[in-house]
Amino acid sequence: MNIDVQQEKKSDEAFVFEIIKEAFQDKEYSDQQEHFLVERLRKSDAFIPQLSLIARFENQIIGHILMTKIKIKNQGNTYDSLALAPVSVLPKFQGKGVGTQLIKEAHKKAKELGFDSIILLGHKNYYPKFGYKQAHTFDIELPFDVPKENCMAIELTKGALKNISGVVEYPKEFGF
């Protein structure tokens, strides 16, 4: 598939809303509210327009990815990172590499913008192929109870998480 990945425009938002809604409507691990989360995050201080990307195929938007600013905090320090959430692909295009292209391009853009790491809550068998490892191996935890195999992190810059430990602090828009 010849997919074009580009920054989302304001005029894309209504299409993206529907794509996210459709992508998660039958997923058992979803609360089917991801489309509303993206709306809230776009209005937040955590939003980075360059990290809200769409995938186009034959002039149709078929996928979306969003990364937003988060913090990793411990007793004395605060570190900047990104949250990857969500990655959405229309069901008829899932399993065709669209998500892979979105993730790779988002990683590239995040690194260009000076970000060194990304944290996510996701499918334990999907994200390791991009280099994600269980976050606890970096001594990073989420602020809620979740199976450790679903909480993952990646260093975009080698050693970026080496001396960082703590609990992820999400923007209030996540609702945690």
> What is the DSSP track for the chain?
---EEEE--GGGHHHHHHHHHHHHTT-TT--S-HHHHHHHHHTSTTEEEEEEEEEEETTEEEEEEEEEEEEEE-SS-EEEEEEEEEEEE-GGGTTTTHHHHHHHHHHHHHHHTT--EEEEE--TTTGGGGT-EEGGGGTEE-SS---GGGEEEEESSTTTTTT--EEEE--GGG--
What is the reported pTM? Answer: 0.95
pLDDT tens, position by position, 20-69: 999 988 766 656 679 989 999 999 999 999 999 999 999 999 999 999 99
The low-confidence residues of the chain, meaning pLDDT below 50, are: none
